[in-house]
Amino acid sequence: MVGDARFRRRNAETLREAQNALNVAFGAILSAYVGNSLADIDNRPFDHVRLAGFFILIAVFILGLCVSNVMMMRREWALSAFFLGGGLVAAVFAHELGREVGFEVVVLRILTLCWVVALLGSNAMLTLIVWLHHRWG
């Protein structure tokens, strides 16, 4: 049988790889949506500075979400909350800029919600797997 420390380490490594794939998938979905929306918006003038700000804020949101997730896996709750809060503030500002540029904000909300739920859900699954292994292993 695999020891608890090794079991947790291997599961955490697997989770990190899965979450990296999750981030790539959501990034691709967001990019496809933004590209499609820009094609529609392209028929009228739009503010390039606001669009650049939107992308920067989305990058800060993603960074905050990912760093928060890593801190959560390390059980560093205060740092996790700090980065998650910063990421969510950036998401709110990106949401407003997205609306000003002409994006359908409901799509942005759905993507954000799904992304956060998927990351937190995968953390919960790892916790459950470790608990089950410890309890019955």
> Side chain identity at 29, as an amino acid letter?
I
Query: What tens digit of pLDDT does each residue of 15-72 get?
Result: 778 778 877 888 788 777 777 777 776 666 777 888 889 889 988 988 888 888 778 8
Q: Which helix (H) or strand (E) holds 112?
A: helix 105-136
> Which residues, 6+ apart, have CB-to-CB distance to 101 below 8 Å?
41, 46, 47, 50, 51, 54
Query: What tens digit of pLDDT does each residue of 106-134 get?
Result: 887 888 788 778 877 877 777 777 777 77
pLDDT of residue 86: 94
Better-scored residue on pLDDT, 2 or 123: 123
For the four alpha carbons of 96, 62, 55 and 30, in that order, the dihedral sign comes to negative
pLDDT of residue 85: 93
DSSP 44: S
Closest-CA residue to 122 (of 37, 46, 14): 14
Average the pLDDT over 78-96 and give the result: 91
Better-scored residue on pLDDT, 86 or 72: 86
**The Cα angle at residue 113 between residues 38 and 41, in degrees rounded to 5:** 10
